[in-house]
Structure 1
Amino acid sequence: MSAAVPLIERHCVEGAAALDAAAIAALLAQVPGWNVAGNRLERRFAFRDFHDTMAFVNALAWIVHRENHHPELQVSYKHCTVAFTTHSAGNALSENDFICAARIDALFAGRAGA
């Protein structure tokens, strides 16, 4: 897809290819707060309480289900860590990971009481 189209407006595609280091760096600049750790795109989100955390996780689950691209989640009382990698791309990063990161950022920014 064209780089001119913002990540938030893109959708995940089946069979997305692994990205090279330059493409990862360019896409990473579009999702502030996320970092690359090995072959994973990760971000830790903080919340007021457990209810706020779980509301976010449930909404996140709906988003990634619609994109058919599912992260690893670590959920605790006031935090959730989200990590993406693309298994079909050899457990490497693909554009799908960054698309979902952008969508999750929008969810986090727009949640009630934020």
Structure 2
Amino acid sequence: MKLPSLVEQRCSHGAPALSEAELAPLLAQVPAWQRIGNRIERSYAFRDYHETIAFVNALAWMIHAQDHHPDLTVRYRHCIVSYTTHSAGHAVSLNDVVCAAKADAIYEERTQA
């Protein structure tokens, strides 16, 4: 049986922190994301502020549906998305990586059009 891809998965309440051994192969599936301490983070680049805000709005729909909220830094031509799971002791959980993959899919969809 084939396991669902990260983008096909849903966040679950109470997701535990991932060990380094569990996290490494998952991060390989979202290579633009970096592990920085107790979080994962990526910066997305855009042509202008309008595109940046359109991405943030599309991201907000996904965030709401997954009920897993990142820290966002919104600038004129880029947005930094940072995920950590507070209920897992401020550590990286599967929820963070699932949402990273979903954010990447939103970005690809918006920048390929």
TM-score of Structure 1 vs Structure 2, range by shorter chain: over 0.9
Which TM-score applies when normalising by structure 2? 0.95
RMSD (Å) for aligned C-alpha atoms: 1.5
Counterpart of 1:83 in structure 2 is 82
1:59 partner amino acid: A
Cα distance, 1:39 vs structure 2: 0.5
Structure 2 alignment gaps of length 5 or more: none
Q: Provide the rounded CA distance (Å) in 2 between the counterparts of 1:39 and 1:97.
A: 11
1:26 alignment partner in structure 2: 25
Distance 2:2 2:112 in 1: 33
Question: Which residue of structure 2 lines up, in the alignment, with residue 97 of structure 1?
Answer: 96
Alignment of 1:1-114 (within 5 A): 4-111=3-110, 114=113
Change (3 A) 1:26 1:105: same
Cα distance between partner residues in 2 of 1:30 and 1:58: 24
Across the two proteins, how many residue pairs are aligned to each other? 113
Q: Aligned-pair distance for 1:108?
A: 0.3
Question: Could you say if the C-alpha distance between residues 94 and 55 of structure 1 is closer, same or farther in structure 2, counting changes exceeding 3 Å?
Answer: same
Q: Deviations over 1:17-57 (max 9, x none)?
A: 00000111011001020010000110000000000000000
TM-score (norm 1): 0.95
1:77/1:3 Cα in 2 relative to 1: closer, same or farther (>3 Å)?
A: farther
CA distance, structure 2, for counterparts of residue 45 and residue 51 of structure 1:
14
Letter in 2 for 1:64: I
Runs of 4 or more consecutive aligned structure 1 residues displaced over 3 Å after TM superposition: none
Distance 1:67 1:37, change over 3 A: same
State the one-letter code of the partner of 2:100: A
Tell me: CA distance 1:22–1:69, structure 2 relative to 1, closer, same or farther (3 Å).
same
* 1:112, distance to aligned residue in structure 2 (A): 5.4
Shift of 1:83: 0.1
User: Which letter maps to 1:92?
Assistant: A
Give the superposition deviation at 1:5.
1.6
Question: For 2:90 and 2:16, how far apart are their aligned partners in 1?
Answer: 10
